């Protein structure tokens, strides 16, 4: 009887050991699954990384903000174009009731603030130079277009992405007499508690850009085919490698350096220019005819549906100008095509834009 009781105790403790081992193994499996899930979420985060420095640096070293056919349609295409007087302005502030975009230069004519537009958002770019005029620091503040349309979500939208501070090493000046070519010293990017490291490599015909997080994980790799003209470098194409796909972007220019086409995998933006001003603009599944007067002011825009060449809407403009003839206020009246006629339709209008211009 004692033997049987002792045997039962041994069996009991053996059973407890087996159950404990099973629970532990299930916990380990669960932890592994959670770990894989977290890794998957990290992969999804890295695959959505869409910030590149090279397209922004192209504008910095070019020294001017020029309209592109992939800009949002409600922003005036001549918003930063000055027709009369000193063509190099110190400040151009373009604003409406929702947004304000500032192009600002220092006393040496270098850009120190400008907007950088993307498909669904834009960045306010601010720049510091060292005593020798070399790029030293850049601040990028992301803004969402959606936040300007929905006041209830304005705060939430604008806190989705945090501002970034980019620190450059001394004498960072690609495609110049100061550049030795090859690999540049690491660029440090700080965003609140996060830190990233960016490596650029310069060859005569391309620039590569690679982002890493603080743990050494690669976030994105990009190769920009480039060419140098009139002392500035331009991007011909981008090849962007994310965690799970490759994206291609191609740029085409006319003889004056205007971007005539931007070709992505799923969309094409194109424009034709006369005297630096677009007169034809294809955006998404619509195309626009832009009409300018002899003073260089946009008078009206007609929007067509391309397949049937059907007129959809028309926008007409009136202006208030400064003493030099550059516009300070652009008022828009919208018309839509109904019953075979163009009828005024104020709700479809895109509002009034104002400009503040400071000349050197």
pLDDT digits (tens, 9 = 90+) for 318-332: 999 999 999 999 999
Q: For 88-108, how does the pLDDT look when each residue is reduced to its tens digit (9 = 90+)?
A: 899 999 999 889 999 999 999
pLDDT at position 148, please? 45
Q: What is the mean pLDDT of residues 111-134?
A: 92
Q: Looking at the structure, do residues 186 and 331 belong to the same domain, yes or no? A: no
Per-residue confidence band for 352, with pLDDT thresholds at 50, 70 and 90: very high
Q: In terms of C-beta distances under 8 Å and separation of at least 24 residues, what long-range contacts does 121-130 make, across chains too?
A: 121/145, 121/161, 123/56, 125/56, 125/59, 125/60, 127/60, 130/170
pLDDT at position 160, please? 59
Q: Looking at the structure, do residues 226 and 119 belong to the same domain, yes or no? A: yes
Structure tokens belonging to residue 98? 């929702």
Q: For 63-84, how does the pLDDT look when each residue is reduced to its tens digit (9 = 90+)?
A: 999 999 999 888 999 999 998 8
Number of separate domains in the chain: 2
Last residue of a domain, which of 267, 298, 330? Answer: 267
Q: Looking at the structure, do residues 246 and 324 belong to the same domain, yes or no? A: no
CA–CA distance from 217 to each of 109, 183, 244, 247 (Å)? 39, 19, 14, 20
CA–CA distance from 275 to each of 60, 61, 315 (Å)? 23, 23, 21
Q: Looking at the structure, do residues 246 and 318 belong to the same domain, yes or no? A: no
Q: What residues have CB less than 8 Å from 350, skipping those under 6 apart?
A: 74, 315, 332, 334
Q: Looking at the structure, do residues 235 and 115 belong to the same domain, yes or no? A: yes
Q: Looking at the structure, do residues 144 and 208 belong to the same domain, yes or no? A: yes
What does R_g of the chain's alpha carbons equal in angstroms? 28
Q: Which residue has the higher pLDDT, 84 or 356?
A: 356
Q: Looking at the structure, do residues 328 and 260 belong to the same domain, yes or no? A: no
Q: For 237-289, how does the pLDDT look when each residue is reduced to its tens digit (9 = 90+)?
A: 999 998 878 999 999 999 999 999 999 888 899 999 998 999 999 987 889 99
pLDDT at position 319, please? 96
H helices present in 88-231, as ranges:
146-149, 154-158
* Contact assessment for residue 319 and residue 329, using Cβ atoms and an 8 Å cutoff: yes
Whole-number Å distance between alpha carbons of 40 and 245:
15
Q: What residues have CB less than 8 Å from 242, skipping those under 6 apart?
A: 46, 47, 48, 49, 220
Is 20 inside a domain boundary? no
Q: Tell me, what DSSP letter sits at residue 52? A: -
The pTM (predicted TM-score) of the whole model is 0.81
pLDDT above 90 as % of the chain: 57
Is 27 inside a domain boundary? no
Is 22 inside a domain boundary? no
Q: Looking at the structure, do residues 306 and 261 belong to the same domain, yes or no? A: no
Per-residue confidence band for 360, with pLDDT thresholds at 50, 70 and 90: confident
pLDDT at position 84, please? 85
Q: Looking at the structure, do residues 69 and 198 belong to the same domain, yes or no? A: yes
Is 230's pLDDT higher than 50? yes
Q: What is the mean pLDDT of residues 116-140?
A: 92
Q: Looking at the structure, do residues 342 and 225 belong to the same domain, yes or no? A: no
Is 8 inside a domain boundary? no
Q: What is the mean pLDDT of residues 310-316?
A: 92
Q: Looking at the structure, do residues 290 and 230 belong to the same domain, yes or no? A: no
Q: Looking at the structure, do residues 246 and 338 belong to the same domain, yes or no? A: no
pLDDT at position 153, please? 46
Q: What residues have CB less than 8 Å from 247, skipping those under 6 apart?
A: 238, 239, 240, 264, 265
Residue 169, beta-bridge partner list? none
Domain holding 172, by residue range, is: 51-267
Q: What is the mean pLDDT of residues 302-312?
A: 86
């Amino acid at each position: 009887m004692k033997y049987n009781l002792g045997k039962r105790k041994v069996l009991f403790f053996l059973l407890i050991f087996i159950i404990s081992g099973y629970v532990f193994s299930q916990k380990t499996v669960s932890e592994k699954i959670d770990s894989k899930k977290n890794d998957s979420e990290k992969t999804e985060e890295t695959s959505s990384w869409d910030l590149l420095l090279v397209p922004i640096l192209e504008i910095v070293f070019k020294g001017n903000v020029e309209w592109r056919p992939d800009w949002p349609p409600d922003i005036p295409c001549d918003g930063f174009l000055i027709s009369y007087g000193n063509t190099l302005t110190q400040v151009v502030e373009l604003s409406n009731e929702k947004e304000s975009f500032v192009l600002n230069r220092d006393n040496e004519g270098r850009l120190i603030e400008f907007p950088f537009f993307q498909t669904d958002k834009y960045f306010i770019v601010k720049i510091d130079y060292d005593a020798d005029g070399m790029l030293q620091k850049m601040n990028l503040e992301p803004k969402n277009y959606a936040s300007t349309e929905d006041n209830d979500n304005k705060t939430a939208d604008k806190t989705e992405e945090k501002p970034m501070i980019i620190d450059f090493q001394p004498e960072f000046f690609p495609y110049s007499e100061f550049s030795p070519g090859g690999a540049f010293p690491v660029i440090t990017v700080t965003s609140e508690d996060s830190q990233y490291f960016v490596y650029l490599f310069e060859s005569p015909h391309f620039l590569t850009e690679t982002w890493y997080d603080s743990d050494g994980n690669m976030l994105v790799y990009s190769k920009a085919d480039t060419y140098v003209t009139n002392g500035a470098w331009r991007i011909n194409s981008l090849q962007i490698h994310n965690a799970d796909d490759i994206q291609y972007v191609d740029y085409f220019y006319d003889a004056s350096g205007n971007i005539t086409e931007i070709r992505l995998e799923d969309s094409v933006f194109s424009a034709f220019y006369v005297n630096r001003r677009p007169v034809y603009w294809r955006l998404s599944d619509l195309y626009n005819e832009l009409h300018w007067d002899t003073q260089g002011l946009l008078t009206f825009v007609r929007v067509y549906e391309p397949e049937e060449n059907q007129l959809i809407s028309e926008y007409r403009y009136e202006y208030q100008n400064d003493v030099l003839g550059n516009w300070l206020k652009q008022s828009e009246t919208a018309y839509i095509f109904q019953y075979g006629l163009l009828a005024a339709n104020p709700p479809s209008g895109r509002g009034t834009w104002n400009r503040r211009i400071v000349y050197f």
